[in-house]
Amino acid sequence: MKIIIVGCGRVGRTIALQLDREGHSITVIDPDADALSIIAGTQNVMTIQGNGAAFDTLIDAGADNCDLLIAVTALDELNLYACLIGTNAGAPRTIARVRNPQYTHDVPKIKDELKISLAINPEQTCARELSRLIKFPGAVEIDSFTKGIVDLIKVKIKPDSVFADKRVVDCADLFKSGQRICTVERGKECYIPNGDFELKTGDIISIVSESHAAPKLFKNLGLITSKSRHALILGGSKIAFYLAKSLRESGIKVKIIESNYKRCEELSEALGDVVIIHGNGMNQELLISEGIEHADAIVALMDTDEENIIVSLFAKDINPSAKIITEIDNLSFSIIDSLPLDSVIHPKHLTGQYIIQYVRAMQNSVGSNIETLYSICGDQAEALEFRAREENMAIGVPLSMLDLKDELQIACINRGGRIIIPSGKDSIELGDTVIVVTKHKGLFDLKDILR
């Protein structure tokens, strides 16, 4: 597809590079030549220096002949205007990044007038993911498939874990509700394990499970002992606002520590019964006095990655039983993976993932059978949801008889709402949706799983 991206910040670059890897023709517009130079020369990416909300610039970029325009600059107003002008220039579909809570509330009411196909709020999206992690403290990360029916749950193996030093095949008895281990992350390596693969302390494993069975699974595995009742949020960002609102609605008591007094006033007025503390989240005495030792969940959402990492390590030392979540925007430092952090969330990367999912859905209407896609294991692997729409060599054949590519696993089959964790005797039938986990990139159809 021909896609125009307005904005070459971290989100714009993430989207451009991912879509380029998938073979799309990408044009990126930004007034900053230095920002464009970072992705200049990428195989299928063309760059244009200029105003992405100007009609003439969009025409030069090919808006009258593109499939999609994505506006992800730092300014909501510019993104909304770029989508409006882009539609008038000929773009059939548009996506706008909208961060302001007031705009997020208003945009659905005037979505048609603004000619926007999808408005995505990164902070609200991130807060939704954080809320799920807090509700499942034993999880490192949770991704959803088949419209929320199936989850892919990441869990870290601790020394006392029931998974430690067991072969994958020997873990079957632990999964009484029908689950499966799909990937194993060990250091910098990612594995699609077979039954003989032996799990070790420190491994991060991905488990596919029906969503309704996840709480029972966590309880059986000793990964959740009680519901979170008290959450401490460090930093009063937009993510903090949305997260506090979500947690409060779930009956969890929330306290926010924020260093900017004016922002404290804004949060206090907007959030009502959430406790807002004016202070420095890096002040150890303040953290102790505000009960960091007794919090069930601690979320570091301060201004810099360095602050978030340091305070998370401190929190882990002083309250090891708490669920600790760390916001990190810079993905370029591999040392982060070696730090003893519970869960790390990357808001900008998450935004890119949601937009790429929308692009996949568009492809589905013009030939691709992929309904959902997640990059996992530090982008070394993908979890894809295929729809079996037409007859091919993968349909109606027992899985044990299929000549599947190596480093690929069929994790789950959804047959009209009935979830099947398949054995070699099961087969894929027309109409099924199939979750495939693989290290191969560029799979677009179910038949691509075959050698």
Assign 51 a pLDDT band (cuts: 50, 70, 90).
Answer: very high
Say which residue, 312 or 376, is predicted with more confidence.
Answer: 312
Q: Could you tell me if 185 and 243 lie in one domain?
A: no
User: Is it the case that residue 314 has pLDDT exceeding 70?
Assistant: yes
Q: Could you tell me if 259 and 182 lie in one domain?
A: no
pLDDT at 30: 96
pLDDT at 365: 53
Structural contact between residues 213 and 178, judged by C-beta atoms closer than 8 angstroms = yes
Say which residue, 279 or 133, is predicted with more confidence.
Answer: 279
Q: Could you tell me if 103 and 132 lie in one domain?
A: no
Beta carbons within 10 angstroms of residue 422's beta carbon? 18
pLDDT at 107: 78
User: Is it the case that residue 262 has pLDDT exceeding 90?
Assistant: yes
What is the CATH number for 207?
3.30.70.1450
pLDDT at 441: 79
Kindly give, in sequence order, each residue whose CB lies less than 8 Å from that of residue 7, ignoring residues fewer than 6 positions away.
Answer: 28, 29, 30, 52, 71, 72, 73, 74, 79, 97
Structural contact between residues 267 and 256, judged by C-beta atoms closer than 8 angstroms = yes
**pLDDT tens digit sequence for 159-217:** 888 888 999 988 887 886 678 899 999 988 899 998 899 999 989 999 998 888 877 77
**Mean pLDDT, to the nearest integer, of 64-77?**
94
Q: Could you tell me if 210 and 242 lie in one domain?
A: no
**Mean pLDDT, to the nearest integer, of 42-50?**
87
Q: Could you tell me if 309 and 371 lie in one domain?
A: no
User: Is it the case that residue 65 has pLDDT exceeding 60?
Assistant: yes
Has residue 104 been placed in a domain?
yes
Q: Could you tell me if 110 and 18 lie in one domain?
A: yes
What is the CATH number for 237?
3.40.50.720
Structural contact between residues 215 and 132, judged by C-beta atoms closer than 8 angstroms = no
Domain boundary among 120, 145, 171: 120
CA atoms within 13 A on the CB side of 46: 11
Has residue 357 been placed in a domain?
no
Has residue 430 been placed in a domain?
yes
Q: Could you tell me if 246 and 339 lie in one domain?
A: yes
Say which residue, 229 or 227, is predicted with more confidence.
Answer: 229
Q: What average pLDDT does the structure give for the chain?
A: 87
pLDDT at 332: 65
**pLDDT tens digit sequence for 264-303:** 999 999 998 899 999 999 999 999 999 999 999 999 999 9
User: Is it the case that residue 218 has pLDDT exceeding 90?
Assistant: no
Q: Could you tell me if 325 and 288 lie in one domain?
A: yes
**Mean pLDDT, to the nearest integer, of 9-28?**
88
Has residue 354 been placed in a domain?
no
Tell me which residue range forms the domain holding 304.
Answer: 230-345
Has residue 352 been placed in a domain?
no
Region label for 14, one of left (φ > 0), alpha (ψ between -120 and 50) or beta (otherwise)? alpha
Closest C-alpha among 252, 257, 258 to residue 231: 252
Q: Is the CA virtual torsion 347, 74, 123, 81 positive or negative? A: negative
Domain boundary among 187, 220, 253: 220
**Mean pLDDT, to the nearest integer, of 386-390?**
84
Assign 10 a pLDDT band (cuts: 50, 70, 90).
Answer: confident
Q: What is the pTM of this model?
A: 0.77
Has residue 225 been placed in a domain?
no
Domain boundary among 93, 120, 147: 120
Q: Could you tell me if 426 and 384 lie in one domain?
A: yes
Assign 368 a pLDDT band (cuts: 50, 70, 90).
Answer: low
> Rounded to an integer, what distance in angstroms lies between the CA atom of residue 48 and that of residue 57?
8
Has residue 351 been placed in a domain?
no
**pLDDT tens digit sequence for 89-110:** 999 999 999 888 777 778 777 7
pLDDT at 402: 93
Has residue 156 been placed in a domain?
yes
Q: Could you tell me if 130 and 116 lie in one domain?
A: no
pLDDT at 53: 94
Q: Could you tell me if 285 and 313 lie in one domain?
A: yes
Domain count of the fold of the chain? 4
Q: Could you tell me if 186 and 165 lie in one domain?
A: yes
pLDDT at 333: 65
**Mean pLDDT, to the nearest integer, of 245-258?**
93
